[in-house]
Each structure stands twice: as structure tokens, then as C-alpha cells.
């Protein structure tokens, strides 16, 4: 049950007006509080405390109210009945949206033959958790891994391989695709080609212009280039799959990116031309997306570059057209670095102007930067820009270190699960849009707002429940403070899931997990369960509470894509 909504609706109905209901930090005086009397006093021309006194008896009539009291200048505190809490908490928590939508989610979006950078961590983790939240609420989602597999990097890699192996037949204009070629790319070397080629191109104008030529011919269907491309594409896709597994994110519904989108370019171009939306600018074909009321620079959207080649812009618009035709979504949401904000603003305008997809049904969730302790983008120990694997490796080392120090003996699967939880939880904990500081040692602490703490709490609950064996239904009334606080915490799950979805705020889930763990550990500490001196009815009730807490915590952990180890 969505406890907050239930209580709030019932109070609104009783008082005949919409009141503001809050969950106070300090639960001592009430489970909920409202400033309704203070708000209503103005129009009623009454003193707020006096009005509150008139409201109390009405609230007392509600079936879930144990006690309602006045505090301060006219706040009303409401305490819930224990039996009401018990009955609500023993029902399954199933948040469901009243208005299910079809949503295309664009995240991950890895690049062929390029190491994943640190930003790919955030798009993957936040996008995946958002996807899980939406699914839980009953929305139909399609996740698109919009792979960078069509642009200039492809050409640079082809040009680089040509430099290394000029004797290969791929570079000839009349390459026959049936020719058997005895050439294999070394997967460990592949991701070094692009950085090498791009550095070389900066120094060497001929190479640069050759690569540009390759790009145009490759996109025009040059057989040899294409055959070579398919070779490294295959290796790259396998590496991406490994990443998806390593991050424990859901498999993408579509691993289709720029190249797939390029198929739709002619259809989109037809639409654009029929509305005269394509104009020429400095030899390039562009769509002017600027509006009169713009107060910031709004450059034109690039349809083709000056060599007539497809662009990141054009394939992104074509991808929208494709998705509209394939999934017909109500919304398309992109998760990328904040710095792509302008690109998406242009894309949304271009799509809207051409009638392909409405501006208001797009969203761009731009995330901030992951910084090191010095406040600058996180670097590896040798001072290079860190990749996604560097982050996970650093955290794995930190977990290993802690485990050795604590004298525990944990297998490598457990260590990996803890390290992954440390990385993902820390990422989810922060407001997506803000930068955060990444400190491998802090995120692996077993205490505080960390992934290991969350897992540790779940492992603890699992172990109590395992030792207890079967947990039959029991009832436990009256509830002690720690018991009721934990159950009310459980009953906040649905509100949080709805709110995380509506506000596109995955951090609410991580913070909720932490709050639930705090409540759990306080309960665990103050309410012995399996100790010999605990009477059997109390034990049965507490076990039931532990089970309810575990189920909700496990569901929350699942939304974050973390795995609970069997021991810690
Ligand atoms: N591949 C791009 C990158 O790594 C992100 C693509 C995001 N999605 C999109 N439809 N443009 O930065």
C-alpha cells in the first residue's frame, strides 16, 4: 500500500480540502504531521491552534488514527494505529502507475572500438535503475543502446588498420566480399587504434583528410571497408556484452545505434525537404532550429557535413524516426553527460519542427562529472583519464584490502558483488545532475551511506531468517517504537518508487535503501529475535517483521541492480 497516499487522501476527504502532509524527521510525536490548521486559519479568520482543536476530533474518526495532537503554533501530529500498520505492512508492496506509458530509454550508448569512459558508468547505472523503476510501475519500456558505430571513429580505425597492414585487400575499390582474408584483429589491441589514429590525424593533415574520405565512402557502402568494419564491430559488441554483465544491468532491448538509424535517413530527408527545413550553410546541409525568443546561442543542426557525410545529429534524428515507427513511444528519454544538453535541445526542436516527434515528449537527463578528491575529473594513478574498468578495478582493490584487514575470508564472487554495490550505490546516491567525488576507499566502507552497508544489512536479515527456518504469518500488536518505525519505513516504499519515477530521481531509491537499513539495524539492535529468553509469540512477530523488511529491502536492492551475497 502507498501509505502516504492513503493517509493523505483520507485526511483530504475528511477535511474537505487538500492538506499538506509531511513525514517528520523526528517520529516521537507522530508518524505524519500537517500544517493544515495554519493554512486554513487564514481564510477562516481563526487562530490556528483553535482551528486545530476543531480539526482533531474529525481526524480521530479516521480508522487509522491512534492519536492526533497539536504542537507549536498549530501543527497537527498524527500517530497511526498499530493494527492498521500491521495489516498494511503484511500486504505485498506493489507500486503501480495509474497511467502506464510506453517509454523509449536511450542509455549506455557505447562506442565501437573505444574504451568505455567514466561517463558511461553513470548513463548505464542510472538508465538501468530508471528502467527497472518504470517496469515495476507497469510502464512498457524499451532500452536502446544507441551504439556509436557509424561516425568518424570508424573511418579513423579503418585508416589506422590500413596504415598497419596496407597489404590487406579491404582497401581496394573492387573488393569482393567473398574473398577469404586471413586476418584477425587482436581484441586487446583494438581499443588502442582509435586513440592512436586520432592523435596521428591531429599531426598529419593527409591522414586526416584520407580518413574523412574513408568516412564518406564507408557510409556510401564501400565493400572492403565494410567487411573490415564488421570484423571489429563483432569484437566490440562482445566487449560491450561483457560490460553489461559486469555491471549487472538488464540486457538492452536494442543494441542498435547510429548505423541502424542511418537506414532511415532517406525517409527523414524526404520529410525535411518537403517542408523546406534543410538549408545550406558553409557547404554543409543544416536545419535551422533557432527561435526568435532564444536568449542563448542556438547553432543550426547539422544534417550533413561539408563532405556530405552523415553526422551524429542526422543519425540521432533518424533514430527518433525509427523508434517512432518501431515502438511508437509516448516518451523518449536520453541519459547522457550534461554537456550534450545543447545537442538534445537542437534534436528535440528539429524533431518537433518536422512533425516526427513532439518536443514535450522528449527528455534529456544530463548527468554531472565524476571527480577525484581534488575536485577534477577522476584520473587513474598514473594520471590518465579513468575508464569505466579503472573505476571498478580500483574499487575491487579497495574491497579486497578491507576484507584482508578484517581477517574475513570471502570468495571472489562475493568481493565482486560488494565492489559493484559500492560503485553503483555511490553513483545512484547522488542527484544525477550534480558532480560527485569518487573516493574508492570511502565508497567501500561497511558503514554509512555505502553499497556494502546496504548489502551487509540484507545479508544480516537473510541470515536471521535462514537460521529461523519457516516464517509463518504472525501478528504483533502492540508494536514497539522500533518495530513500528521499521514497518512504516517499509510502507514508504511505494511512495518512493512513484516519486523516483515522477521526478526522474533515482537517488531517492538509494537514499530510501539507506533509511530502511538504518531502521532495520535499530530494530535488530533493540529487538532481539532468536535469543533464548525471547517469548515465542514475540519472536514470531519479530521474525515476520524481519521478513517484511527483507522483502522490501531486496526489492529496493534489485531496483539498483545489486546482488546480495550469501555471506559477508
Ligand atoms: N555514444 C555517445 C557517447 O558515448 C552517446 C550517445 C547518446 N545517445 C544518443 N542518442 N545520442 O557519448
The x, y and z cell numbers of residue 322, run together, are 525509427
Given a contact cutoff of 8 angstroms between Cβ atoms, the answer to whether 391 and 437 are in contact is no
Q: For ligand 1, pick from 336, 347, 365, 366 the residue to mutate: most ligand atoms within 8 Å of CB.
A: 336
Nearest Cα neighbor of 231 from 184, 172, 170 is 184
Instruction: Give 383's Cβ-side CA count (13 Å radius).
Output: 0
- How far is the centre of ligand 1, averaged over its atoms, from the C-alpha of 317 (Å)? 12
> Is 111 a pocket residue for ligand 1 (Cβ < 6 Å)?
yes
User: CB of 364 closer than 6 A to ligand 1?
Assistant: no
Centre of ligand 1 from the C-alpha of residue 475, in Å: 52
- Domain presence at residue 459: yes
- The whole-angstrom separation of Cα 492 and Cα 23 is 10
Q: Do 399 and 548 sit in the same domain of this protein? A: yes
pLDDT score at 117: 86
**CB of 104 sitting under 6 A from ligand 1:** no
Q: Would you say residue 142 lies in a domain?
A: no
Indicate which atom in ligand 1 lies nearest the CA of residue 111: 1
- Residue 225 Cβ contacting ligand 1 at under 6 Å: no
- Residue 343 CA, ligand 1 centroid: distance in Å: 10
Q: Is the CB of 2 under 6 A from ligand 1?
A: no
Mutate to test the pocket of ligand 1, among 114, 119, 148, 333 (most ligand atoms within 8 A of CB): 148
Q: Which CATH number does the domain housing residue 438 bear?
A: 1.10.730.10
Q: Is the CB of 345 under 6 A from ligand 1?
A: no
Spell out the residues 6+ positions from residue 565 whose beta carbon is closer than 8 angstroms to its own.
Answer: 410, 413, 414, 417, 418, 455, 459
Residue 545 phi/psi, 5-degree rounding, is: -65, -45
Phi and psi at 161, nearest 5°, equal -65, -35
**270 occurs within a structural domain:** no
Ligand 1 near 127 CB (within 6 A): no
Residue nearest to atom 11 of ligand 1 (CA): 316
**Cα–Cα dist 534/513, whole Å:** 28
- Residue 109 C-alpha to ligand 1 middle, in angstroms? 5
Expressed as residue numbers, the domain containing 163 is 152-246
Question: How many A from CA of 537 to the centre of ligand 1?
Answer: 57
Ligand 1 mutation pick, 340, 341, 346, 366, max ligand atoms within 8 A of CB: 340
Q: Is the CB of 148 under 6 A from ligand 1?
A: yes
Whether residue 457 lies inside any domain: the answer is: yes
Ligand 1 atom with least separation from CA of 316: 10
Judgement on whether residues 403 and 518 belong to the same structural domain of the protein: yes
Query: Measured from the CB, is residue 106 less than 6 Å from ligand 1?
Result: yes
DSSP, res 459: H
Question: How far is the centre of ligand 1, averaged over its atoms, from the C-alpha of 469 (Å)?
Answer: 49
Instruction: Please check whether residues 168 and 54 belong to one and the same domain.
Output: no
Instruction: Tell me the C-alpha distance between 207 and 501, whole Å.
Output: 48
Secondary structure of residue 68 in the 3-state scheme? strand
Q: Are 193 and 55 found together in one domain?
A: no
Overall number of domains in the chain:
3
Q: Whose CA is nearest to atom 5 of ligand 1?
A: 109
Helix (H), strand (E), coil (C) string for 160-218: HHHHHCCCCHHHCCCCCCCCCCCCCCCHHHHHHHHHHHHHHHHHCHHHHHHHHHHHHHH
d(CA 334, ligand 1 centre) in Å: 9
* Pair 555, 417 in one domain: yes
CA 365 / ligand 1 centre spacing (Å): 12
Hey, whose CA ends up nearest to atom 6 of ligand 1?
A: 109
Best CA proximity match to 151, nearest among 284, 259, 236: 259
- The answer to whether 493 and 93 are in contact (CB under 8 A) is yes
**Same domain, yes or no, for 442 and 553?**
yes
Sign of the four-CA dihedral 117, 118, 124, 130:
negative
Show which of 80, 96, 116 is a domain's final residue.
80
Measuring from atom 7 of ligand 1, which residue has the nearest CA? 109
**160 shares a domain with 72:** no
367 lines ligand 1 (CB under 6 A): no
Q: Is residue 528 part of a domain?
A: yes
Instruction: Give me 144's grid cell.
Output: 536502446
Domain boundary among 49, 80, 111: 80
55 within domain boundaries: yes
Positive/negative CA dihedral, 176, 178, 183, 188: positive
* 209 domain residue, yes or no: yes
For position 470, what pLDDT does the model report? 87
The domain spanning residue 26 has which CATH number? 3.30.1360.70
Q: Where on the phi/psi map is residue 521: left (φ > 0), alpha (ψ -120 to 50), or beta?
A: alpha
How far apart, in whole angstroms, are the C-alpha atoms of residue 462 and residue 441? 26
Distance from Cα 439 to the centre of ligand 1, integer Å:
26
Q: Is 349 in the pocket of ligand 1 (CB under 6 A)?
A: no
Q: Ligand 1 pocket, 109 CB below 6 A?
A: yes
Same domain, 45 and 171: no
Answer yes or no: do 398 and 480 share one domain: yes
- Cα(147)–Cα(464) distance, integer angstroms: 45
Query: Is the distance from the beta carbon of residue 362 to the nearest atom of ligand 1 less than 6 Å?
Result: no
Q: Is residue 537 part of a domain?
A: yes
What number does the ligand 1 atom closest to the CA of 120 have?
4
Nearest residue (by CA) to ligand 1, atom 2, is 109
- Does one domain contain both 401 and 532? yes
- Give average pLDDT by consecutive 10-residue segment, the chain, 568 residues: 94 94 85 93 90 95 95 94 95 92 97 90 97 98 96 94 96 93 92 94 96 92 95 94 94 96 97 97 95 96 90 97 98 96 98 98 95 87 82 93 92 95 97 92 94 98 95 89 95 96 98 98 97 95 96 98 96
The rounded distance, in Å, linking the Cα atoms of 87 and 491 is 11
CA of 110 to the centre of ligand 1 (A): 7
Question: Where is 367: in which H helix or E strand?
Answer: strand 362-367
Domain boundary among 80, 107, 134: 80
| Ligand 1 center to 320 CA (angstroms) | 13
C-alpha 445 – ligand 1 centre gap (Å): 33
CA 267 to ligand 1 centroid distance, Å:
22
pLDDT at 92: 86
pLDDT at 28: 81
* Residues 413 and 546 grouped into a single domain: yes
Same domain for 402 and 508, yes or no, is yes
Amino acid at each position: 500500500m502507498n501509505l502516504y497516499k492513503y493517509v493523505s487522501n483520507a485526511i483530504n476527504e475528511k477535511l474537505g480540502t487538500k492538506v499538506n502532509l509531511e513525514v517528520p524527521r523526528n517520529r516521537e510525536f507522530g508518524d505524519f504531521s500537517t500544517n493544515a490548521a495554519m493554512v486554513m486559519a487564514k481564510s477562516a479568520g481563526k487562530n490556528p491552534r483553535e482551528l486545530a482543536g476543531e480539526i482533531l476530533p474529525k481526524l480521530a474518526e479516521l480508522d487509522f488514527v491512534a492519536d492526533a495532537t497539536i504542537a507549536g503554533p498549530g501543527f497537527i501530529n498524527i500517530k497511526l494505529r498499530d493494527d492498521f500498520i500491521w495489516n498494511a505492512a503484511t500486504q505485498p508492496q506493489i507500486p503501480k502507475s495509474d497511467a502506464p506509458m510506453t517509454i523509449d530509454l536511450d542509455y549506455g550508448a557505447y562506442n565501437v572500438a573505444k574504451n568505455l569512459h567514466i561517463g558511461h558508468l553513470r548513463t548505464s547505472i542510472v538508465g538501468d535503475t530508471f528502467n527497472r523503476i518504470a517496469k515495476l510501475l507497469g510502464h512498457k519500456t524499451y532500452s536502446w543502446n544507441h551504439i556509436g558505430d557509424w561516425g568518424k571513429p570508424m573511418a579513423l580505425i579503418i585508416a589506422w588498420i590500413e596504415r598497419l597492414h596496407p597489404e590487406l585487400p579491404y582497401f581496394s575499390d573492387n573488393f569482393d566480399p567473398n574473398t577469404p582474408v586471413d586476418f584477425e584483429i587482436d581484441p586487446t589491441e583494438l581499443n588502442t587504434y582509435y586513440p592512436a589514429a586520432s592523435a596521428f590525424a591531429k599531426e598529419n593533415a593527409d591522414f586526416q583528410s584520407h580518413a574523412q574520405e574513408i568516412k564518406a565512402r564507408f557510409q556510401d557502402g564501400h565493400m572492403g571497408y565494410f567487411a573490415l568494419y564488421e570484423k571489429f564491430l563483432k569484437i566490440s559488441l562482445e566487449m560491450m556484452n561483457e560490460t553489461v554483465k559486469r555491471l549487472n544491468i538488464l540486457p538492452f532491448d536494442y543494441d542498435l545505434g547510429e548505423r541502424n538509424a542511418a537506414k532511415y535517413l532517406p525517409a527523414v530527408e524526404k520529410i525535411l525537404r518537403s517542408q523546406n527545413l534543410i538549408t545550406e550553410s558553409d557547404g554543409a546541409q543544416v536545419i535551422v532550429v533557432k527561435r526568435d525568443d532564444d536568449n542563448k546561442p542556438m547553432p543550426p543542426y547539422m544534417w550533413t557535413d561539408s563532405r556530405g557525410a552523415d553526422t551524429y545529429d542526422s543519425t540521432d534524428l533518424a533514430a527518433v524516426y525509427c523508434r517512432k515507427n518501431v515502438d511508437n513511444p509516448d516518451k523518449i528519454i536520453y541519459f547522457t553527460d550534461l554537456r550534450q544538453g545543447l545537442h538534445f535541445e537542437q534534436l528535440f526542436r528539429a524533431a518537433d519542427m518536422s512533425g516526427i516527434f513532439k518536443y514535450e515528449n522528449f527528455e534529456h537527463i544530463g548527468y554531472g562529472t565524476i571527480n577525484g578528491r581534488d575536485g577534477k575529473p577522476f584520473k587513474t594513478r598514473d594520471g590518465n583519464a579513468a575508464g569505466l574498468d579503472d573505476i571498478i578495478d580500483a574499487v575491487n582493490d579497495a574491497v579486497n584490502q578491507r576484507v584482508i584487514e578484517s581477517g574475513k575470508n570471502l570468495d571472489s564472487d562475493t568481493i565482486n558483488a560488494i565492489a559493484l554495490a559500492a560503485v553503483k550505490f555511490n553513483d545512484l546516491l547522488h542527484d544525477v545532475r550534480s558532480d560527485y567525488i569518487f573516493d574508492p576507499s570511502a565508497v567501500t566502507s561497511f558503514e554509512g551511506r555505502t553499497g556494502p552497508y546496504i548489502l551487509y544489512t540484507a545479508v544480516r536479515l537473510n541470515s536471521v531468517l535462514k537460521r529461523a527456518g519457516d516464517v509463518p504469518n504472525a501478528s504483533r500488536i502492540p508494536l514497539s517504537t522500533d518495530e513500528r518505525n521499521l514497518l512504516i519505513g517499509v510502507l514508504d516504499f511505494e511512495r518512493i518508487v512513484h516519486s523516483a519515477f515522477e521526478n526522474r530521481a533515482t537517488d531517492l531509491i538509494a537514499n530510501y535503501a539507506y533509511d530502511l537499513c538504518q531502521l532495520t539495524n535499530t530494530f535488530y539492535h533493540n529487538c532481539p529475535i532468536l535469543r533464548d529468553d525471547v517469548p515465542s509469540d514475540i519472536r514470531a512477530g519479530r521474525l515476520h517483521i524481519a521478513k517484511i523488511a527483507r522483502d522490501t529491502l531486496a526489492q529496493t536492492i534489485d531496483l539498483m541492480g545489486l546482488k546480495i551475497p550469501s555471506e559477508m
